[in-house]
Structure 1
Amino acid sequence: MDNKDVFQRFDLHQRIQHIGMFSSFFVLTITGLPIKFEQNSVSVWIVALFGGFDNLFTVHLVGGAVMLLAFVYHLFYLGLYPLLTKKTSWAILPKGKDFVDVVQDVLYLIGLRKDPPKFDRYTYKEKFDYWAVFWGMAIMGGSGLMMWFPEIFTQYMPRWVIDSARYAHTDEAILAISAIFIWHFFNSHFSPRFFPMNHVWYKGTMSREEMEEDHPLELERLESGK
């Protein structure tokens, strides 16, 4: 394929951050659900597979640490990338067009609009996925650290806050698991456009055909040199 027909979507740093995030998410899902539903027969089997609860819980903590490190890596990336490259992009921020795109997309999907909306660098679905991680890290990461180091946090807040963290942690986990395995996986991998998998997560590039289909406004801007 000619280089002119290949477009950089994610650089190496972004791909490493994503891999760290989703690999730790899988580990946390596999080890976290048996903790929440400890009486379930499948949970008992998974705990036994890890050689006991202590081993499973240790793996869960390691997974949590990796996810937090991936998140911190991303925050440093956001701060340092503009300084090192002299490039700043605000494309991931929600805009009024995103709300228009939602309406137009729904009308297209139910057959009341002939063409789907034209998306720029990020669709409203991708922005939702991205910003949901910040919400999830604040709730799950914060509550997880409270439960991991209660002796530190109880010096600055009442005990009931620490106790409440368990409910916040597990309920947000169920929400995140549902969102990832239903919303994100379909939109990014299992839809007819990408099934069985979208390769951009490890290649970091998209073809011209994919750009024309998914990000036509960005393609127009890149080719016009703006």
Structure 2
Amino acid sequence: MAATKSAYQRWDIHQRLQHIGVFSSFTLCAITGLSIKFNHAPWARSIVDFFGGFETMFKWHLFGGLILTLACIYHLVWMAVKTWKGELGWAVMPTLKDFTDLADHLKYQLGLSEQPARFDRYSYKEKFDYWAVFWGMFIIGGSGFVMWFPEWGASFLPRWLIDCWRVGHSDEAVLAVLVIFTWHFYNVHFNPDFFPGNTLWFSGLMDEQVMEHEHPLELERIRQEVNRHGSI
């Protein structure tokens, strides 16, 4: 991890591009998709008019879904390359410590402990955000392609499963929007420690003071490496 006197690089250019691709395409899919689901609402009709009609908006929805899929494939390829080079660790994998961190965090928030949870490279909240994308892409992405190419889907899937996926595509998307714009946005942007916004997604850097608060165990390890080798 590269470091300066006051900031540490947590994301490289590939991770930043992947995140930009995911959040921009997800936002487009959310705006157009919710307008399709709630098409009788006045606000939905306004969005349809903004896009120049329902058919045009639907094409933008498909375009957003395609970009979202490509961004996820980009991430999987990047992970495969990093793993092949031996540069990707297992820090993002869930462990028993995540459950103890959750318990410690709840006790601290409820005033039952004076010691907050001490997170390593990724907290349980960040791991939840990360792995939720895989589940969401399986449900939303898989069902989306089946509905986009119905003849292809019907060639190997029973009708009842296609109907279930159609409902799942819509309802899972609503759940994803709620999670992103409440849980995720609060944790990384609206939280008083980051407000009015966390710039990590753009710069790839995290301030040392923020590191001490959010990832103290990782920062301790980095400082130990600096003391041993003189630089990172």
> TM > 0.5 between the two?
yes
- How many residues get paired? 224
- Letter matched to residue 4 of structure 2: N
Contact 2:35 2:48 in 1 (8 A): yes
Aligned-pair distance for 1:150?
0.8
Task: State the distance in 2 between where 1:5 and 1:65 align.
Answer: 39
* Matched residue SS, 2:5: helix
Aligned-pair distance for 1:214?
0.7
User: CA offsets per residue over residues 85-106 of structure 1, 9 Å max, x none?
Assistant: x323000000111000101101
Number of the residue aligned with 1:8: 9
CA RMSD of aligned residues (A): 1.2
User: CA offsets per residue over residues 82-129 of structure 1, 9 Å max, x none?
Assistant: 224x32300000011100010110110111110211110000000000
Number of the residue aligned with 1:62: 63
- Letter matched to residue 81 of structure 1: K
Task: State the distance in 2 between where 1:150 and 1:164 align.
Answer: 14
Task: State the distance in 1 between where 2:142 and 2:185 align.
Answer: 25
Q: Which moved more, 1:5-14 or 1:132-141?
A: 5-14
Corresponding position: 1:41 with 2:25 = no
Q: Which moved more, 1:197-206 or 1:153-162?
A: 153-162
- Normalization by structure 1: what TM-score? 0.96
Q: Which moved more, 1:175-184 or 1:37-46?
A: 37-46
User: Mapping of 1:125-140 within 5 angstroms?
Assistant: 125-140=125-140
Number of the residue aligned with 2:195: 195
Contact 2:79 2:88 in 1 (8 A): no
Gaps of 5+ in 1: none
Number of the residue aligned with 1:114: 114
Corresponding position: 1:143 with 2:133 = no
User: Mapping of 1:61-210 within 5 angstroms?
Assistant: 61-84=62-85, 86-210=86-210
Aligned-pair distance for 1:3?
1.8
Runs of 4+ in 1 over 6 A off after TM superposition: none
Identity over aligned residues, as a percent? 51
Task: State the distance in 2 between where 1:77 and 1:183 align.
Answer: 26
- Letter matched to residue 118 of structure 1: R
Task: State the distance in 2 between where 1:12 and 1:129 align.
Answer: 20
- Letter matched to residue 29 of structure 1: A
Task: State the distance in 1 between where 2:43 and 2:140 align.
Answer: 24
Gaps of 5+ in 2: none
Task: State the distance in 1 between where 2:97 and 2:157 align.
Answer: 42
Q: Which moved more, 1:37-46 or 1:156-165?
A: 156-165
Task: State the distance in 1 between where 2:111 and 2:14 align.
Answer: 40
* Matched residue SS, 2:206: strand
Task: State the distance in 2 between where 1:130 and 1:30 align.
Answer: 22
- Letter matched to residue 197 of structure 1: G
